[in-house]
Structure 1
């Protein structure tokens, strides 16, 4: 399993807002235990669905402008972007099956 690619304030526009496919951004913090718990699930999803979805991680403490711009107030926050705009967000870790169902539902609703 490979590590998730990191996005920050200098690469957010290119990697998230101008991406050619949906992007799931994991807003996380080093001090947040659930943030660390969900990483293996996100790595699995990234490996299994990398042909149609990109999963990136953004350290909320190190990127306060983006965190504030998208009103992220709790960690982890997972936010799904499509065509440069957020279409879905959820706070907290969850099992892989539940997360995949929620992602699929959000992508179908956005079509």
Structure 2
């Protein structure tokens, strides 16, 4: 069963959305960082990736103007957002605040 984007971001646990593009260099830098954060946090949070070229409506809905843009949701609310690359430790600490 596929979960919709809105169902995922309305979750009671934090959901980090990585808005990225396949052609974006910094987005490729974020990949191993996100894997690190996921392995560190386990089930405390979800991480999903949204390709802005394939999902322009989602990117537009959240005014994503640059990639990568990371947005942290919980129960449908935006808790935090940042564009650009962020270190794994810093990202994990931010997500932990809301877990």
Shorter-chain TM-score tier: 0.7 to 0.9
Query: Counterparts of 2:36 and 2:87 in 1: how far apart (Å)?
Result: 12
After TM superposition, the score normalised by the length of structure 2 is 0.87
What is the DSSP-based 3-state SS (H/G/I as helix, E as strand, rest coil) of the residue aligned with 1:20?
coil
Question: Can you give the 5+ residue segments of structure 2 that lack an aligned partner in the other structure?
Answer: none
After TM superposition, the score normalised by the length of structure 1 is 0.78
Alignment of 1:1-111 (within 5 A): 11-17=4-10, 19-105=11-97, 107=98
Query: Counterparts of 2:86 and 2:12 in 1: how far apart (Å)?
Result: 26
* 8 Å contact kept, 2:18–2:50: yes
| RMSD between superposed Cα atoms in Å | 2.0
Aligned residues: 98
Question: How far does residue 51 in structure 1 lie from its aligned partner after superposition?
Answer: 2.0
Query: Counterparts of 1:51 and 1:102 in 2: how far apart (Å)?
Result: 15
